[in-house]
Structure 1
Amino acid sequence: MPKGLLYLTVFLLSLSSFCQKDSLALNYDKTKIVQKEISAQDIEVYKNDPNFNYEVVQNDAPEWWIAFKNWAGNLLIRFFEWLFGVNKASGALNLFLEFLPYVLLAVLLFILVKFFLNVNARAISYAKKNQAAMTMSEEEHIIKNENIQKLIQEALANNNYRLAVRYYYLFILQIMTEKELIDWQIQKTNEDYLKELRQERLQHPFKDITRLYDYIWYGEFPMDHEKYQKAESSFSTLKQLLSNG
């Protein structure tokens, strides 16, 4: 091979190698860098955004309530997700689900309180009925068999003025029964006896002592000697009218 051709081949190969090295050279970005500044106002915007609030709030609620709330909440969330075909409740539905455990607990407490109040009311009503039956049986025995005037004196001796008023009222009923002014029956009320009285002169005094008796005995009005004397005057007036009639 001629020397000239050899030199030309070597020169071309060297030039090709130099061009390849030059094509791999690094290109530097010479764009001017502008520093971004964050103002205090920008920070406040992020601080007020609840999406950037990562503060852990200490919950002082009892563990049983937290467990119940989580259980009920998860159960309801799964139900509504199934019902509405969504993956997660949001908006008003999410707010409703958060408050629903409280509503359910309030309803449960209301039902329990109402149940126990009804049970207690039935027990009290039953006790009152039994007490009323016992009282009526006792009144029947007193009116038909006892010396009521003696019972009045015994009650006064013991300073039991309420009981004395009760005996005095039964004594009036006993007198009116003996005079056949009324037909005393265990199931009758004092209003029934007032309607049975035909003599107008007896109706008003009997109505007065009935009001006193109900107020003092059933109303558990506290009595002393002075108050008893005032009540006794009304009973004595009617007793005198019955004696004269």
Structure 2
Amino acid sequence: MKRHINLLFLILTLQFALAGFSASAAWSIQSPQTEIRSFDAEKLDEYRGDKRFQYEVYKAKPKGFLERLWDRIVGWFNSLFGSAITSGVLEILFYALLIAAFVFFIIKLTGIQPTTLFKKAKSEAKPYQVDEEALNDIDFEGEIQLAINQAQWRIAVRLTYLYALKRISDANLIAIRKGKTNHEYLYELSGHSIEQDFASLSFLFDYTWYGHFEANETMVTKAKTHLESIGSLKSSKK
């Protein structure tokens, strides 16, 4: 019995010894040697000079006064309506106002009457022939006022010019004849006190009627001013 116990003790001792040796051998095999490495100073300097490796924090450009004002307006509308599309609607409205302001500027610059843009072109049916009998049949004051009320500025300028011709003819200063030019009428008025007024009125008439340029209320006012000066003429040359 004692012999068996000693044999068992010997076997266990050998097993523990072999297990310790195997663990020590495995540790020595698995444990790598540590290698100490250092950075290449030249490479570091090269990377520092390369823009691709320069990482900087982007600083947003400060907003101007108009941008800040716009942000406040948008924020105010958002707080009122609480809609995510408010900003887009306001942007559309802003550009619409810019376009409207530009159109208004063009209208003022060209002297076009805004009301005439939405009216149908009125027929200029009355030719108002230039001959003595035709001029005697026209109610100039009524026709001129009608043309002004209908914003037919070209007709109003033409009627004012024809009315001046009639007045000058009634004063026996010119002889009206169909086909006669303004230069011929001016030649007959040479040296008369109304010569300059008639010349200016003739220019307005030629500019708007034969030149096909757009007339306006200002031109009609100027034409009527010249007509009033002509209306005070006398029937003899100076």
TM band (smaller chain): 0.3 to 0.5
- In the superposition, the TM-score normalised over structure 1's length comes to 0.40
Structure with the higher helix share, 1 or 2: 1
Return the structure number with greater relative CO, CA threshold 8 A, min gap 6: 2
- In the superposition, the TM-score normalised over structure 2's length comes to 0.41
